[in-house]
Amino acid sequence: MLRHSSKWLPAALALTGLAFLGAPRTAHGVNLEFSAVITDTAGVIVPGGVIGPFFAGPTPPGGTAEINTGTFVADGISVTNGLHTANDALKLIDSTVDQLINLAAATRVINVVVSGNNFTSGAATAFTNVDGRFLNATGSSITATWRDDPANQLSSVTGVVGGMPVLTLAGNPVGVPFNFVATGPQLLAFANSQGPIAVNDPGNFGMSLVFAITLMPGATLQDRGQAEQKLPGAIPEIDPGSAASALTCLGSGVMILAGLRRKRTPA
């Protein structure tokens, strides 16, 4: 997982949805919002299944907003070391968790939105990724999407109606959705990276990570991470005969890897 310095959000407040680290603002630095609901397969919210919304920010321009949901249990879903960040300097939004375990006797569905806005200076190119590992999780799944908002708004998950999550999603999809289904009990890793993807953010903008995790009873999801990063210009095409062009692309790639590569640490 990524190493971060952070301020811990108390687990008791995370469970009750009472923690309030700021407000959804649109000026003076980046803002971050985390919201989630946990349901059964019929879409009924389980006890303690409304997590958040929590807010962090605004930061100074170029700063980093962090929401640390820490370690807690909500109706049998055990969450270990959840951390979510919006980094204005890197134009990066990132969400990680060391481990999710379904300790309940029934399947649980976890819908999450991590959203940031007021990233500065505009952007023309986006990169996305998601990765993780399922264990003892036959039939479990994850669906991940990414969003870009030139209007600079925040997204959120507000509940469930008719068995479907109610999502207020700002902006437009980035890339294509990713879906992975665990087909056996063995350790199964998944990973997906996309980009460069053209976007049109002439001014300050928002980004959102949206994901839904279905966990069968006893299933574990380890080292889940998802991120989106922007660059101010388009990635130039490599001219095989031009060393300068190749170096330009290499420099762009270094910045991308700095933001999206995850450094795993023991859980």
Domain that holds residue 70: 11-260
Average pLDDT for 90-106: 98
Cβ within 8 Å of residue 1, ≥6 positions away: 81, 83, 96, 98, 223, 225, 262, 263, 264, 265
Locus of tokens 């019929």: 42
Query: Is residue 71, in this structure, part of any structural domain at all?
Result: yes
Q: What is the average pLDDT across 75-79?
A: 96
Distance CA 219, CA 241 (A): 51
150 within domain boundaries: yes
Stretch 194-208: mean pLDDT, rounded?
Answer: 96
DSSP-assigned beta bridge partners for residue 208: 115, 147
pLDDT at 163: 66
**pLDDT for the residue numbered 6:** 32
Query: pLDDT per residue over 124-174, tens digit each?
Result: 999 999 999 999 999 999 999 999 999 999 999 877 777 677 889 999 999
Q: Residue 6 domain-assigned?
A: no
Burial classification of residue 210, based on how many CB atoms lie within 10 Å of its CB (0-12 exposed, 13-18 middle, 19 or more buried): buried
| Separation CA 242–CA 244 (nearest Å) | 5
Percent of the chain clearing pLDDT 70 (strictly above): 76
pLDDT of residue 4: 33
Q: Which pLDDT value is given to residue 55?
A: 97
pLDDT of residue 162: 72
Confidence (pTM) = 0.82
Structural domain includes residue 3? no
Number of domains in the chain: 1
Tell me: pLDDT of 175 over 90: yes
Q: Is residue 267 part of a domain?
A: no
Residue 153 lies in a domain: yes
The DSSP string of 173-209 is E-S--EEEE--SSS-EEEEEEEEEEEEEESSSEEEEE
Determine the Cα–Cα distance for residues 68 and 115; give it in Å rounded to an integer. Answer: 14
Residue 2 in domain: no
Which range among 26-30, 62-66, 225-229 shows the weakest confidence by mean pLDDT? 26-30
Cα–Cα separations (whole angstroms), residue 250 to 91, 217, 238, 260? 18, 45, 10, 15
Is 1 part of a structural domain of the chain? no
The closest alpha carbon to 60, from 82, 86, 96, belongs to 86
